[in-house]
């Protein structure tokens, strides 16, 4: 089944153009009122006193071409159907409606349909008395033996450079000459892991999983070679080597990193890093992107374009524009790290002994180790079956440190803080962090002079604050909170243990969970099963109370 966001395929392009007109912050775009079949987006602030710049082609390459219409770039864009050249009539009407005595330059990507339709429209316009010139962008170097190199993302650079010259009021001959210099100085190469998804059609899966296609065209045309890799370093090396060979000796360059539509920002950032750590980086002085300038719908791929820099290009590329699709130029600067002070998380303490505390720590840790299989079996019914292993891992870490006499047993605030620190590193997932919050916060409260029950209750409150669990949410809080409340009220460990058991028993009757993996299960899966964490709390308090 096709997956494409649209209402009706026949209206897709026209409705998308309306969205572009609505989204320009300068309110400087209009569509010529020539019916649904002729789609020409023009500058509303154009007065025909300067050379008009017209480009266009098939839709599906957004923001090209309508996204480059505006002050400083194109005067008009002629939009065809998806990946289809606009008609001769559409191009001719664009010429007639925006061209004055200064003349018009057509900037065309080198595809057969565009060459023919724009070319014939230019000839017809000349017969009507208009001054029209045409330049052909052919920046794709992926197919070196092709006598007709394709026009791809480098087209946007030509739009910008020619647009600056036109905005400055230069003659048609001068604008054309500068545009041609930019074309001659531009080289591009693209790569994709998968072709694009056309509206209403299935995706072409010709590129096998784990492979990539070097030189895939912006309409999904086959490239020059299929690579048996998607490794970022290997791919970047191949592409930058080819670009370096195309760059004239002694020339410095601007690099355009263009998203073909389907690359994530994360992947584009990695791509940028790989390219700028290649030998080619020594010749790059300016960057554009990573950005989407000339896309291929949602093609999972990207292209790299090099512009061999000349003095006139610098000012043109940096000049301000009022268009939706352009991305700013910036100077390339290597990474530099800022000095920083590293915060040491390890506690500074001296091991000490306390027989009573040692006995409690030994009993609790051994209980959790002994409960490992039972808790895992319980958790397998309502979670992912690892609660016992998680608690046991933390218990073994603490028990081992005690056996090696590496615990501050006679400094309870420091002991709790140390337990919190170590649980965060050894217990997996959120459980370790939550228990670390509890013990760390309790240790801080003890340091301030609180009694142990009050300190543990404070730790529980902080754990609830960050974790989001409350009594009734079917977690260990249902057993731990009533037990600690009993201790805070001055009750014995036996009373606290009984409160923990009642809380744990109650979780078996709760019809839904509000936290943890159990929150994704239905009532039937939970009914009659105690929460593993609550059961662990129940058993620990029973052991401490000697029950």
In three-state form (DSSP H/G/I as H, E/B as E, the rest C), the secondary structure along 481-507 is HHHHHHHHCCCCHHHHHHHHHHHHHHH
pLDDT at 424: 82
Nearest partner of 284 among 317, 310, 306, judged by Cα: 306
Confidence of residue 371 (pLDDT cuts 50, 70, 90): very high
Q: How confident is the model at residue 2 (pLDDT cuts 50, 70, 90)?
A: low
Q: Based on the residue annotation, tell me whether 219 is a catalytic residue of this protein.
A: yes
Residue 476 has pLDDT above 50, yes or no: yes
* CATH entry, 355-544, from 2.30.30.100, 3.40.720.10, 1.25.40.340, 3.30.160.20: 1.25.40.340
Flag whether pLDDT at 373 surpasses 80: yes
pLDDT-derived band at 117, boundaries 50, 70, 90: very high
- Which entry of 61, 219, 286, 458 is annotated as an active-site residue? 219
Question: Residue 523: what pLDDT?
Answer: 46
Per residue in 398-444, pLDDT (tens digit) is 999 999 999 999 999 999 999 988 888 888 667 788 888 999 999 99
Q: Classify residue 111 by its DSSP letter.
A: -
Lowest-pLDDT choice from 313-327, 422-436, 511-525: 511-525
Strand order in 253-259's β-sheet? 225-227, 212-214, 186-194, 300-308, 253-259, 284-291, 329-331
Q: Taking residues 58-81, what's their average pLDDT?
A: 98
Say what the pLDDT of residue 386 is.
Answer: 84
More confident residue, 322 or 523: 322
Least confident of 69-73, 194-198, 348-352, 454-458: 348-352
Distance of alpha carbon 330 from alpha carbon 1, whole angstroms = 43
In the beta sheet, which residues pair with residue 134? 106
Do domains 9-195+213-220+230-331 and 355-544 share one topology? The answer is no
Averaged pLDDT, 330-335 = 92
Instruction: Tally the C-alpha atoms within 13 A of residue 463's C-alpha that lie toward its C-beta.
Output: 28
For 9-195+213-220+230-331, CATH gives 3.40.50.10440
Does the pLDDT of residue 514 top 60, yes or no? no
CA angle 488, 491, 492 (to 5 degrees): 120
The answer on pLDDT for 347 being more than 80 is no
Strand-pair partners of 192:
213, 301
Return the pLDDT at 525. 43
State residue 437 phi and psi, 5-degree precision: -60, -45
Query: Angle at Cα 546 formed by Cα 471 and Cα 376, nearest 5°?
Result: 55
pLDDT at residue 231 in the model: 96
Distance (Å, rounded) from C-alpha 349 to C-alpha 415? Answer: 9
Q: Classify strands 212-214 and 104-109 as parallel, antiparallel or unpaired.
A: unpaired
Q: Where exactly are the structural domains of the chain?
A: 9-195+213-220+230-331, 355-544
Give 3-47 pLDDT, tens digit per residue: 889 999 999 999 999 999 999 999 999 999 999 999 999 999 999
Does residue 520 carry a pLDDT above 50?
no
142-178 tens-digit pLDDT: 988 888 999 999 999 999 999 999 999 999 999 999 9
Q: What is the reported pLDDT for 528?
A: 61
Q: What angle (nearest 5°) sits at the alpha carbon of residue 52, between those of residues 48 and 58? A: 130
Omega before 65 cis (within 30°)?
A: yes
Q: State how far the alpha carbon of 182 is from the alpha carbons of 1, 52, 67, 135, 511, in Å.
A: 43, 18, 20, 11, 69
Q: How many CB atoms lie within 10 A of CB 471?
A: 16
What pLDDT does 204 receive? 82
With a pLDDT cut of 90, the percent of the chain lying above it is 80
- Phi, psi torsion values for 438, nearest 5 degrees: -60, -55
Asked if the model's pLDDT at residue 340 lies above 70, the reply is yes
Q: Residue 517 pLDDT > 50, yes or no?
A: no
DSSP 110: S
pLDDT at 519 over 90: no
CA angle 63, 69, 71 (to 5 degrees): 135
Task: Give tens-digit pLDDT for 245-267.
Answer: 999 999 999 999 999 999 999 99
Asked if the model's pLDDT at residue 395 lies above 70, the reply is yes
**pLDDT score, position 342:** 81
The residues pairing with 331 across neighbouring beta strands, listed in sequence order, are 286
CA distance 364 to 360: 6
State the Cα torsion 317-319-321-325 to the nearest 10°. 20
Cα(133)–Cα(176) distance, integer angstroms: 7
pLDDT for the residue 200: 87
């Amino acid at each position: 089944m096709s997956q494409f966001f649209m209402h009706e395929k026949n209206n897709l392009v026209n409705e998308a153009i309306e969205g572009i007109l609505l989204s320009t912050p300068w309110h400087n775009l209009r569509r010529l009122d020539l019916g649904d079949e002729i789609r020409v987006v023009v500058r509303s602030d154009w007065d025909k006193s300067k050379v008009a710049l017209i480009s266009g082609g098939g839709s599906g390459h957004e923001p090209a071409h309508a996204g480059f219409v505006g002050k400083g770039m194109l005067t008009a864009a002629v939009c065809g159907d998806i990946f289809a050249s606009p008609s001769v009539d559409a191009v001719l009407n664009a010429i007639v409606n925006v061209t004055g005595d200064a003349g018009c330059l057509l900037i065309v990507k080198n595809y057969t349909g565009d060459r023919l339709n724009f070319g014939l429209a230019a000839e017809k316009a000349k017969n009507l008395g208009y001054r029209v010139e045409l330049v052909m962008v052919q920046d794709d170097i992926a197919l070196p033996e092709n006598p007709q190199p394709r026009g791809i993302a480098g087209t946007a650079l030509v739009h910008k450079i020619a647009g600056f010259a036109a905005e400055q009021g230069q003659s048609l001959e001068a604008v054309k000459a500068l545009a041609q210099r930019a074309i001659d100085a531009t080289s591009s190469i693209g790569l994709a892991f998968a072709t694009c998804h056309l509206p209403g059609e299935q995706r072409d899966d010709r590129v096998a999983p784990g492979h990539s296609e070097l030189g895939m065209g912006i309409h999904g045309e086959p490239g020059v070679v299929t690579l048996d890799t998607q490794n970022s370093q290997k791919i970047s090396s191949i592409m930058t080597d080819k670009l370096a060979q195309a760059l004239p000796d002694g020339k410095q360059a601007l690099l355009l990193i263009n998203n073909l539509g389907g690359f994530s920002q994360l992947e584009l950032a990695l791509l940028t890093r790989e390219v700028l750590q290649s030998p080619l980086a020594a010749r790059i002085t300016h960057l554009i992107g990573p950005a989407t300038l000339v896309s291929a719908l949602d093609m999972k791929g990207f292209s790299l374009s090099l512009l061999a820099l000349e003095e006139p290009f610098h000012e043109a590329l940096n000049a301000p524009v009022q268009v939706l699709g352009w991305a700013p130029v910036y100077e390339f600067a290597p990474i530099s790290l800022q000095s920083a002070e590293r915060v040491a998380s390890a506690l500074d303490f001296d091991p000490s002994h306390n027989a009573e505390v040692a006995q409690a720590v030994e009993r609790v840790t051994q209980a959790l180790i002994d409960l490992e299989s039972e808790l895992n079996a319980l958790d397998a019914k309502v979670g992912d079956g690892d609660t016992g292993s998680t608690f046991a891992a933390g218990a073994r870490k603490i028990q081992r440190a005690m056996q090696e006499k590496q615990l501050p047993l006679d400094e309870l605030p420091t002991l709790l803080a140390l337990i919190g620190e170590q649980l965060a590193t050894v217990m997996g997932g959120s459980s370790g962090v939550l228990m670390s919050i509890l013990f760390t916060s309790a240790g801080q409260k003890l340091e301030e002079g609180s009694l142990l029950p009050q300190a543990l209750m404070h730790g529980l409150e902080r754990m609830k604050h960050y974790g989001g669990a409350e009594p009734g949410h079917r977690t260990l809080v249902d057993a731990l909170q009533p037990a600690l409340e009993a201790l805070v009220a001055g009750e014995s460990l036996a009373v606290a243990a009984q409160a923990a058991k009642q809380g744990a028993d109650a979780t078996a009757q709760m019809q839904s969970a509000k936290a943890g993996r159990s929150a994704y299960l239905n009532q039937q899966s939970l009914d009659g099963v105690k929460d593993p964490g609550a059961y662990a709390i129940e058993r620990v308090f029973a052991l401490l109370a000697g029950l």
